[in-house]
Every structure is written in structure tokens, then in C-alpha cells.
Amino acid sequence: MLIAPSLLSADFGNLERDVLMLNHSEADWLHIDVMDGVFVPNISFGLPVCQAIQKTAKKPMDVHLMIVKPENYVAAFKDAGADYISVHYEACTHLHRTLQQIKQLGCKAGVAINPHTPVSLLEEVIEHTDLVCMMSVNPGFGGQKFIERTYKKIEQLKEIIIRNSADTLIEIDGGVNLHNAPLLKAAGADVLVAGSFVFGAASPKDTIAALKKV
Ligand code: DX5
Ligand code: ZN
């Protein structure tokens, strides 16, 4: 599985140090959580911080947009270094169009779904979706408890991907740790996001290595 540590739990006063640590770790991607205080009840950071990360990051930047009207900002996030851009199903009236827009920019297109959103709603867009960011907590905050129904949703999504001959990656975001990682892998997850579990550890680098070994 690919491991994508979330910089939401990094030390923002020492962001360059933490990005350098990720460069030298076994992390595959950098997960970047953008929150607008409207789509989610929290504000994290936006374009200037992404640009700052881009200057140091040596790995793909996986940008998770928890914002309303993401179609207005995808080009700016591409310019700020995004390789993957995920928009929320719940925030997109014209999701099909927004996915095309992301691909036309040369980025990989992702759809994020809240815990209450059934995976069956992705059937019509799955062939245009490079990544599904399945929320295993309600978006907005790090350090929340993993929602157990996620395993079932992964299995259902895998079935949709196979049935449509798509090559979509399944990413799990929220409450990931070494206890649930093997179960997520067995259910069919391809990418694990981990924020507080990595940055709250005595050695974030060793924790990433341990997740990578699962
Ligand atoms: C939550 C974010 C997550 C968050 C995960 O809204 O999308 O990426 O950083 O944090 P943990 O791993 O602490 O649940
Ligand atoms: Zn995220």
C-alpha cells in the first residue's frame, strides 16, 4: 500500500523540517488538507502554504480540497504543486465536469466522499476517477476515531471498480493506525492517509516505515 502522511498534523512552525523528514522517509505521497471553514467546520491552510510545501517536497502532493466550489480553485492548486486533486462529491454539483477539468490540467483526479455518502453514487464517474478518498472520519479535524463501517464500503467500492474495469485507487482518510491498517489492506485499500498517528509518534519516520510494512 501507498502511505500518505497528512501534513495537517505537522508542526506548522517547522513545516520545512517536517517536509524534509517526509522526503527522507518511506512515505509515498504528501497528503495536504485544505479546509475553508464552510464545507467543513474548520480552517486549515490554502494556496501559499501549498506553494511553500512544493518548494521542498520531493514526492507527489495529494491535495484534499474540503472547500465549496472547488472548481474555482483547482487550476491554482495545480500551479501550487498538486499532483492529485480530490474534490468532495458533496461539494460538486457538476462532478463529472470538475473531474475532466482536473485531468485537463494534467493532474490525477480524485473524489472524496463523506462517511454518510454511499459508494454506489460513484458508479457513473468511476471510469473518470483516478482516486477515491474515502473518509473514515467526518472531515474537518485530525485525531478522530475511525468509523468501522469503512471496511464494508471499501469492499463495495472495489466491486464497482472491478465491474467497470477502472483502475481507481482507494484511499482511506481518517483515524488510520497500525491496528486498522492490516484490516484496511485486506478489505482492498491502496493508499492510507495518516496524520496524528504519524506526527504524534515519538518517531514519525519509524511509524511511516511500520505502516509501509503492513
Ligand atoms: C480530516 C483530514 C485528514 C486528517 C487525518 O478532515 O482529511 O486527512 O488529517 O488525520 P488523522 O490521521 O489524525 O485522523
Ligand atoms: Zn485528508
Average pLDDT score over residue span 178-200: 98
Q: Active-site residue 83, yes or no?
A: no
pTM of the complete model: 0.98
Residue 206 among the catalytic residues? no
Q: Tell me the mean pLDDT in the region 205-210.
A: 98
The pLDDT value given to residue 113: 99
User: For residue 123, how far is its CA from the centre of ligand 2 (angstroms)?
Assistant: 22
| Predicted local confidence at residue 13, as pLDDT | 98
Q: Where are the domains of the chain?
A: 2-212
| Cα 138 to ligand 1 centre (Å) | 9
Out of 33, 36, 130, 190, the active site residue is 33
**3-class SS of residue 116:** coil
Residue range 33-87, pLDDT digits in tens = 999 999 999 999 999 999 999 999 999 999 999 999 999 999 999 999 999 999 9
Going through 36-158 in order, the beta strands assigned E by DSSP cover: 61-66, 84-88, 108-113, 131-135
**pLDDT on residue 118:** 98
Class of domain 2-212: alpha beta
Ligand with the closest atom to the CA of 194: 1
Encode pLDDT of 98-142 as tens digits: 999 999 999 999 999 999 999 999 999 999 999 999 999 999 999
Cα 151 vs. chain centroid, distance in angstroms?
17
pLDDT at 21: 98
Q: What is the best residue among 7, 9, 29, 30 to mutate for testing ligand 1's pocket, by most ligand atoms within 8 Å of CB? A: 9
Q: What is the mean pLDDT of the chain?
A: 98
Can you give the C-alpha Rg of the chain in angstroms? Answer: 16
Q: What is the pLDDT of residue 38?
A: 98
Average pLDDT over residues 182-202: 98
Separation of alpha carbons 75 and 184, rounded Å: 32
